[in-house]
Amino acid sequence: MVDEKPDQVYDWAAELIFSPDSQHVAYMAQQSGKFFVVVDGKRALPNSEFFSISKPVFSPDSQRVAYMARQFDKQIMVVVDGKYGPYFDDINGFIKFSPDSKRVAYMAVRNGNHFMVVDGKPGPAYDSIGTFFFSPDSKHVAYVAQQGK
């Protein structure tokens, strides 16, 4: 319920979040054992249901939404603006939008290799990846990576 207006009824709902401009609301929901994200009272992907999902994240300009979604075959991806990203074995940490809201990045794992994924494209494989940041102008991504000892 937002401002005393009822929303859909689901078996479960949690992790309600407002957009930075307070004009949009998103949350995780579950119906009949299947999970999905709801944005402004509507499913973010109308015909998609997942084994599990993460709390949605709004971009700084409040116009974009991203979240992690695990398929029933256990593959996981990041969904940005209703579009599936590449599949991975795991996604480490969190999803981060750039300050200008145009870019998105996250850390992922496939076959024991760690990747920094920026704008849906995995970078080089490393043994581990640490904290990452966008530059204030959103043009660059910096992160700590380890290869070998």
User: How many other CB atoms sit within 10 Å of the CB of residue 142?
Assistant: 10
User: Both tokens of residue 92?
Assistant: 């480490």
> What does pTM read for this prediction?
0.89
Mean pLDDT rounded to a whole number for the chain:
92
Residue 67 pLDDT exceeds 60: yes
Question: What confidence tier does 45 reach under pLDDT thresholds 50, 70, 90?
Answer: confident
Q: Is 14 exposed, middle or buried (0-12, 13-18, 19+ CB in 10 A)?
A: exposed
Find the range with the poorest average confidence among 37-46, 106-115, 120-129.
Answer: 37-46
Kindly report, residue by residue over 4-36, the tens digit of the pLDDT: 676 778 888 988 999 999 999 999 999 988 999
Residue 141 burial (C-beta neighbours within 10 Å; 0-12, 13-18, 19+):
middle
For residues 65 and 56, is the Cβ–Cβ distance under 8 A? yes
